[in-house]
Chains A and B, each alone.
Chain A
Amino acid sequence: MISLENVSISLGDFSLKSVNLEIPSGEYFSILGPTGAGKTVILELIAGLYKPDKGNILINNENVEKIPPEKRGVGFVYQDYALFPHLNIYKNISFGLKLRKISQKEIRNTVLELTELFNITHLLSRFPGTLSGGEQQRVSLARALALRPKILLMDEPLSALDPNTKNFLREEIKRIHRTYECTIVHVTHDFNEANTLATLVGIILDGQIRQVGTPGEVFKNNGDLKVSRFLGLSAS
């Protein structure tokens, strides 16, 4: 379970105002909101890349304030892939494994297992700059999953991809959620993505979580005018 309790942070012009959020373990949670609503910052707070100005973040009932990102056991996938441009695909995926005391053979097996899962084994010796967007995002997913994180954080992972690749990767992500049994927090502005992938959806507007529920519940008109307007449900 990931819990945010009254979390506030201001970064330059942007701020989150006492956000409360509970994400039960094993769920596929989608944070849905317009651009600039603070979605990415929520992920970066969970990962520990920022510290909240106020409030607490708990992972499995443990306050993680003092736990640095490298010890939180989260995997992170960005919209722009953020692959290490100076390392080839093999080294990108094995980056986290190499920092731990794992034998070369074991590292190799884990990498090959992942690259087969994502169908990118033929790219191992290439460098990120020479890959297509879809390929890069698959590498980025493989890299995040290499350490078998309990929590996978994804920031608009499909937004930069063309429709075909998007559909294909959506299915792969669904499969990951089933096979890896991790909690996924997926930030998006795409209703369709949230609707088809998530088991729970949270709507964020103006730095605040306005509504949380299953896709079925959230995509029904329920009276919150701002949310309805954002979802295009409001008649008024």
Chain B
Amino acid sequence: MAKTRWWKDKFNLFMVIFTYIITFCIFATLMTVILKGFPGIGKALMTKEIQFSIKLSLYTSVISTIFCILIAMPIAYVLARTDIWAKQLISTILDLPLTLPPIVSGVCLLLIFGTTGFGAWLEDIGLGFVFTVKGIIISQVFTNLSFTIRVLKSTILSINPRLDYIARTLGCTPMQAFFKVTLPLSKNGIIAGTVITWARALGAFGAVLMLAGATRLRTETLPISLFLNMSTGDIDAALAVANILIIISVISLFIFNKFGGDFIGDSRVN
């Protein structure tokens, strides 16, 4: 169909208008928050509480993203390239946290760290996760890892495995082939995966709330701050935080599309 003639057909006209309306609704909803909250950002940024939240959110999300990428890369490689025993089952289990409501993930984490001997032992060696900043990080990792694995897996699947074979015949051990061929060709996928994982970590709420709690100036990340301010009726602060989160989302979506949009085409052989 010619691109310029869509309005001549009633059915297509309806579909196109429908698309415009829905897009407008989504945009209008976001704009309401932006228009109401944006003027307050400057003032909010000066408060100790928001500054604390931003710092804590940045700190926890950066650390959890690094963990996600480091953990996800080997797993993505295994899932994309090897035929391991019970692969389907393993793949399903690794996917689970993606479909699980985050608040349920939070309950699981709270139970394992708060009520078991394993959790007690971890606390003894200095890894207390219940109601701590470490708990925020592990909640973010737990809820995001499946997602990071998926992005990296699709990246590796898009790389011609023959490049690996060729590297082997040219003298690479499997490890050298990974570091000299697969990893550099995954670059764009890793960038996209990092950005989207980070953005999700910044927004993590349910699991964080369950495991780390919502303590002002202690485990108060940006989403927790939004929740606390909303429930105490400080709408200006809440909207300012919402705005900060929206701005971060827009920027990371832009970066993800830039790298994620073409990483499949780019890393495919030739």
Contact = CB atoms under 8 A, between A and B. Distances in A.
Contacts of B187: 86
A13 to B, nearest CB: 14
B169 A84 contact: no
B12 interface: no
B136 interface: no
B270 interface: yes
A48 B167 CA distance: 12
A227 B168 CA distance: 35
A19 B95 CA distance: 41
A80 B162 contact: yes
B269 A47 contact: no
Interface string B197-234: 00000000000000000000000000000000000000
Contacts, number: 74
Contact of A68 (B162, B166, B173, B266): B173
B169 A70 contact: yes
Q: Is the interface of B mostly helix, strand, loop or mixed?
A: helix
A96 B162 contact: no
B265 to A, nearest CB: 11
A96 B181 CA distance: 12
B185 interface: yes
Contacts of A28: none
A69 B160 contact: no
Given A68-B168, A68-B173, A69-B169, A82 B162 contact: yes
Nearest to B184: A86
A107 to B, nearest CB: 13
Given A70-B173, A99-B171, A100-B171, A49 B165 contact: yes
Interface in A135-149: 136, 143-144, 146-147
B172 A70 contact: yes
A84 B168 CA distance: 13
9 contacts: A49-B165, A74-B169, A76-B166, A78-B166, A80-B269, A84-B181, A99-B171, A136-B270, A143-B166
